[in-house]
Amino acid sequence: MTRVSIPPLVDIGANLTHESFAADFADVIARARSAGVERIMLTGTDLPTSHEAALLSTQQPDLFAATAGFHPHVASTFTAEAATAIAELATRSEVVAVGECGLDYNRDFSPREAQISAFEAHLEIAAATHKPLFLHQREAHEDFYKILSARRADLVGGVVHCFTDTRAALEAYLDLDMYIGITGWVCDERRGKDLQEIVRHIPLDRLLVETDAPYLLPRTLKPRPKTRRNEPCYLPEVVTRIAECYGCEFDDIARHSTLNAHRLFTLGMGHAEKRR
């Protein structure tokens, strides 16, 4: 029991199907486990990554769970056939959330009309399959809120992942009884400043933690890793910074966020639960 001093963590968002993990996948997982990360949700952002995330989750159900969806960046490729495939994936037990889906008006990689119709289709799939949502919103709060709130009664719930918006947006999502995902954005001494002020307003029973690996390497890591690639093993750094923002202990954030992840995504019997 070498991990006894580290409370189990759930990384609710890691893009481990990303090509940057192909060469040393087993090492990445071993490092995550040593760091106390006992469950990892693999983010599906298009058809291949959603299938891959589901496959990995059937192979290692104690460690992985999957999401299935189309990121707003690729919303213009979300065809009717893709919608059928995502809907089928969403019925599987290893797929615990519909998404990543939502709106991103920061990059606008897909036309906004395409983003909106893909988002609405994902809400439809989530409602039909009674699965929670894994949501992405960047600089699109107004449209995002309008679309989500209109369907909220039909949905079991979800997380607004990698939350980086304003206090008002936070309160709006909490009023919809959504969970809030916090990444290493909170470790950024420049663009994370506002988020550091806002984080403590998330009720502890609504907080989830995530790396969004390989993106958003925490800037507070010491020593600084040799590469820019983020990994689930750095999740404790995010939890440490969040605890500082709340003025509470690491264990408080770890315990609550892990319980929340199990509650929202019905992760089932993992190592974390067996030990209780």
Site residues for Zn ion per CB under 5 A: 136, 162
Residue 162 or 242 having the CB closest to Zn ion = 162
The enclosing H or E element of 208 equals strand 207-209
Q: How far is the CB of 269 from Zn ion (least distance, A)?
A: 28
Whether 217 and 192 have beta carbons less than 8 Å apart is answered as no
Question: How far is Cα of residue 57 from the mean position of the Cα atoms in its chain?
Answer: 16
Q: How far is the CB of 243 from Zn ion (least distance, A)?
A: 23
Q: Which residue is nearest to Zn ion (CB)?
A: 136
Q: How far is the CB of 100 from Zn ion (least distance, A)?
A: 5
Q: How far is the CB of 95 from Zn ion (least distance, A)?
A: 17
Residue type, 151: R
Residue 7 or 78 having the CB closest to Zn ion = 78
Q: How far is the CB of 212 from Zn ion (least distance, A)?
A: 7
247's CB contacts (< 8 A; 6+ apart) are: 200
Whether 208 and 182 have beta carbons less than 8 Å apart is answered as yes
Residue 136 or 241 having the CB closest to Zn ion = 136
Dihedral class, residue 162 (left if φ above 0, else alpha if ψ from -120 to 50, else beta):
left
Place of tokens 């988020």: 195
Q: How many residues are present in the chain?
A: 276
Residue 33 or 136 having the CB closest to Zn ion = 136
Whether 91 and 129 have beta carbons less than 8 Å apart is answered as yes
Residue 162 or 180 having the CB closest to Zn ion = 162
